[in-house]
Amino acid sequence: MSQQVSARNVSLVSCGDYDAQKVYGAIRQSIDLIGGIEAFIKPGTRVLLKPNLVRSMAPERAATTHPSLVAAVARLVREAGATPVIAESPGGPYTAATLKSTYRRTGIEAAAQLSGAELNYDTGASQVSNPGGRVLHRLDLIDPLLQADAVINLPKLKTHNLTTLTMGVKNLFGLVPGALKIGYHSKLIERELFCEGLLDLMLYVRPALTIMDAIVAMEGEGPTGGSPRPVGAIIAAADPLDVDTLGAALVGIDPLQILTTRLAAARGLTTGKVEDLVILGDSLDDLSVSGFLQGIESPLDPGLLPAPLRPLVRLATPSTINDKPDTRGARALRSLAQGWIWKQLVARPRATDRCIACGFCVKHCPVNAISLINGRARMDSHTCIRCYCCHELCPHDAIELVKSPLGRLASPR
């Protein structure tokens, strides 16, 4: 009989490369350390495997969950007597053709064939009530999720220009179908609201298990434009917030710098402190890496700016835990600061010479801030909400993120 699984238990297991047998052994060990697969998956059930397949990219780019990890988890699910179903809604249109292209290019099609997992091609979606949500009281979700008995969340450890890192919590946003993600970005323009929405989604889905691919992570301009960074680890836990806490610490980032984790701590869902975790398996000190490059949207240090600008920067920076209610004057000052200072400090997207005016970014901008002018995409900085969908989804990697002189002064990287 399996031991009782604690929500604070999290496993950390070394895995140096994507050799199929090595990955299978490391994942099996990861799950055994926290209770064994039978503690999470029951025989005869239908289990949705949710990798990060943000868009159609080769696994060597480190933007997607590696197929060897997905195949290993599917194999373990089958050995537990359950049926694994791989499902995802990548960026762009949620169509069978998009799914087929994405599965093939990311190596997931071969992984499914190797492991005997089903590949989902059902593009149906439904809206469900979420009365417990803080900002999202209704959710649009892909039907395969609603038909599953359990979810195994398979994120990739990557940087992200909105949330610092994308890990277990952020990965679940891929359960929102296709272009409807645009509506969520448009509705939840402020970062805090968007991340609160991610927590609402996580609490609705409640994955049975989260296993993160940190064998090769992505650093720099993630989630699709960064560089592969070998880390050599697999992290597993029942709670995605525990995975996210350990994942951040693994690459030398304060877990509470991750906005979803910080907001979850404010809700009382986690402490966001690695010392509160029971880490089973290998040592964090042995596997942690240094010098992990963050994206352009890392938090700002007001101390880097000339003294007269520091109060404005603090006003312009969204507050995650506010013990005191805003006064009318404070709200007015924050609005003024955000109207100009904040836009100067955050990066804006710009099309490079690689742009071929295909119109994909125009079609998928949530606030219609992009147009095609003289054979190139042009972004209206006054309308742009800095969701970076264009940077993330451009099929030609033709969008770069740039800062104003004031932004470069505040955060040179």
pTM for the predicted model, two decimal places: 0.81
236 and 366 together in one domain: no
User: Would you say residue 296 lies in a domain?
Assistant: no
- Is 70 exceeded by the pLDDT of residue 336? no
For residues 268 and 324, state if they share a domain: no
Query: Is the residue at 320 inside a domain?
Result: yes
- Of 259, 287, 315, the residue at which a domain comes to its end is 287
Query: Is 295 a member of any domain?
Result: no
pLDDT of 315 higher than 70: no
Any domain includes 236: yes
Which residues form the domain of 49?
A: 9-287
215/154 same-domain check: yes
Other C-beta atoms lying within 10 Å of the C-beta of residue 46? 15
213 lies in the same domain as 241: yes
What's the alpha-carbon Rg for the chain, to the nearest Å?
21
Whether residues 312 and 215 share a domain: the answer is no
Degrees, nearest 5: CA angle 26-30-34: 165
In a domain, residue 4? The reply is no
Among 256, 287, 318, which residue terminates a domain? 287
Sole residue written with tokens 């959710």: 139
Locate tokens 């949710």: which residue?
50
Between 211 and 367, name the one with better pLDDT: 211
Nearest to 156 by CA among 41, 243, 96: 243
* pLDDT confidence bin for 389, thresholds 50/70/90: confident
For residue 7, the model assigns a pLDDT of 53
Is the same domain home to 365 and 243?
no
User: What is the rounded distance in angstroms from the CA atom of residue 396 to the CA atom of residue 172?
Assistant: 25
Rounded to whole angstroms, the Cα distance separating 23 from 8 reads 24
**pLDDT digit string (tens) for 14-30?**
999 999 999 999 999 99
Give domain status of residue 1, yes or no. Answer: no
Do residues 192 and 247 both lie within one domain? yes
- 116 φ/ψ sector (left φ>0, alpha ψ -120 to 50, else beta): left
Structure tokens that stand for 382 in this block: 């006054």
- Whether 88 maps to a domain, the answer reads yes
203 and 313 fall within a common domain: no
Domain match, 180 and 44 both: yes
> Per-residue pLDDT averaged across 236-243, rounded?
98
| Whether residue 400 is found in the same domain as residue 277 | no
- Return the exposure string of 225-237: e unless at least 16 CB atoms fall within 10 Å of the residue's CB, then b: bbebbebbbbbbb
Read off the CATH number of the domain in which 66 is found.
3.40.50
Bridging pattern class, strands 9-14 and 278-281: parallel
The domain boundary, picked from 287, 314, 333, lies at 287
280 and 306 co-located in one domain: no
What is the tally of structural domains in the chain?
2
Same domain, 252 and 391: no
Q: For 21-48, what is the mean pLDDT?
A: 98
How confident is the prediction for the chain on average, in pLDDT? 88
The percentage of residues in the chain with a pLDDT greater than 70, rounded to a whole number, is 84
- For the domain that residue 345 is a member of, what is the CATH number? 3.30.70.20
Distance CA 128, CA 350 (A): 36
Rounded Cα distance between 250 and 233, Å, is 9
